[in-house]
């Protein structure tokens, strides 16, 4: 059976397709029926006839794509028959509500990982390994250089930086994608250091997740009528969380003396922090690192591995050297922490 030719899943110019169920998973062009792993904009795109996503992912997807989309929900672990295929969604550990999609046809099981990480973060549902015959994996950080430190260590680094900024009269501005990373940071930082202000794109997502029951500290939305300098005089020591694209812009310069930081797995690479205009880089990713990718693949028991986005060629070559039947599948998914995040779309303010 060759790559792209299967009754379970095949690879088309619209996305990953299941002939037995006549549906696509995270398609990048409009289709009749789309199963969506999570709400990031390179995986949940507009224009599909009908959507299926987890109960946890649905509110953000509706927020981003519009309340009028046709969207059904499914619980983690619930089996649903679609045509001749049986599908179920399982925690991916990437962001709140994110899922891997398990597809079974005639006893053959394939799993589409979407994006994932293994380490629990205290906010989203923890990754669940699923046994399968074939595993479609991301490899955003599929190089040995990518190794994540314990989350508590990174949290301490961020809190120390914020406290130092507060002591020196500067505003700590942290660049983080508005869905997932920003909320993870909010759950990590110490609100006792000072007030937390948020860009509109971040706060809109906060409101959606709070309504679902996720616990986040108190935040203050930055609005056009908010005078940041006056607010700093009144409260001091503020942390501002904003999309990375906001750093260095007139929006950011309103806050006066600023120390800019970025939280991303790419901070492991030399030069990236400088290119992003940041004073500090914190290595924190919502994707699996090199060791986690290996662990996840091993725990599936799959012999066939398809690498979709990231360091696909290098990673598939390593997999082949380990005895896997490994192939690269071109997709239109991104390789950033939230690659296709458009800070100018409906989330921005």
CATH T-level topology, domain 151-282 = Rossmann fold (3.40.50)
CATH T-level topology, domain 10-145+286-328 = Metallo-beta-lactamase; Chain A (3.60.15)
The confidence score (pLDDT) of residue 4 equals: 45
Q: How confident is the model at residue 1 (pLDDT cuts 50, 70, 90)?
A: very low
- DSSP per position, 158-227: HHHHHHHHHHTT-EEEEE--TTTHHHHHHHHS-TTSS-EEE-HHHHHHHHHHHHTT------EE--TT--
SS3 label, residue 65: helix
SS3 label, residue 156: helix
Burial of 302 (0-12, 13-18, 19+ CB in 10 A): buried
The confidence score (pLDDT) of residue 256 equals: 87
The confidence score (pLDDT) of residue 221 equals: 95
What are 306's strand-pairing partners?
136, 327
Domain with CATH 3.40.50.10890 in the chain: 151-282
Q: Indicate left, alpha or beta for 312 from its phi (over 0: left) and psi (-120 to 50: alpha).
A: alpha
Residue 225 has pLDDT above 50, yes or no: yes
Residue 345 has pLDDT above 70, yes or no: no
What is the pTM assigned to this prediction? 0.92
The order of strands in the sheet holding 50-54 is 10-11, 16-18, 23-25, 33-35, 50-54, 71-74
pLDDT tens track for 68-100: 999 999 999 999 999 999 999 999 999 999 999
Domain with CATH 3.60.15.10 in the chain: 10-145+286-328
pLDDT tens track for 289-310: 999 999 999 999 999 999 999 9
Q: How confident is the model at residue 226 (pLDDT cuts 50, 70, 90)?
A: confident
């Amino acid at each position: 059976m060759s790559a792209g030719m299967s009754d379970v899943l095949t690879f088309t110019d619209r996305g990953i397709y299941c002939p037995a169920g006549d549906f696509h998973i995270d398609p990048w062009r409009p289709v009749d029926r789309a199963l969506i792993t999570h709400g990031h904009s390179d995986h949940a795109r507009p224009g599909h006839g009908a959507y299926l996503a987890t109960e946890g992912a649905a509110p953000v997807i509706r927020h981003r794509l519009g309340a009028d989309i046709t969207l059904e929900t499914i619980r983690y672990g619930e089996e649903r028959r679609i045509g001749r295929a049986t599908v179920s969604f399982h925690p991916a550990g990437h962001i709140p509500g994110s899922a891997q999609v398990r597809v079974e046809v005639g006893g053959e099981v394939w799993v589409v990982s979407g994006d994932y990480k293994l380490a629990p973060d205290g906010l989203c549902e923890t990754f669940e390994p699923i046994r399968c015959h074939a595993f479609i994996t991301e490899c955003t950080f599929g190089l040995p250089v990518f190794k994540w430190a314990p989350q508590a260590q990174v949290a301490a680094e961020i809190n120390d930086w914020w406290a130092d900024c507060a002591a020196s009269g500067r505003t700590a501005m942290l660049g983080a994608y508005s869905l997932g990373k920003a909320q993870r940071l909010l759950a990590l930082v110490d609100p006792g250091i000072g007030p937390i202000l948020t860009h509109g794109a971040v706060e809109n997502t906060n409101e959606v997740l709070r309504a679902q029951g996720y616990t986040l500290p108190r935040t203050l939305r930055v609005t056009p009528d908010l005078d940041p300098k006056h607010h700093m005089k009144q409260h001091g020591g503020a942390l501002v969380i904003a999309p990375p694209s906001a750093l260095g812009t007139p929006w950011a310069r309103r806050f006066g003396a600023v120390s800019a930081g970025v939280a991303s797995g790419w901070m492991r690479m030399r030069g990236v922090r400088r290119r992003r205009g940041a004073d500090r880089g914190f290595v924190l990713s919502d994707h699996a690192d090199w060791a986690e990718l290996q662990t996840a693949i091993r725990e599936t028991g799959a012999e066939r591995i398809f690498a979709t986005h990231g360091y696909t060629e290098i990673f598939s070559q390593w997999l082949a050297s380990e005895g896997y039947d490994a192939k690269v599948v071109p997709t239109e998914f991104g390789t950033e922490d939230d690659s296709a995040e458009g800070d100018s779309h409906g989330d921005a303010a």
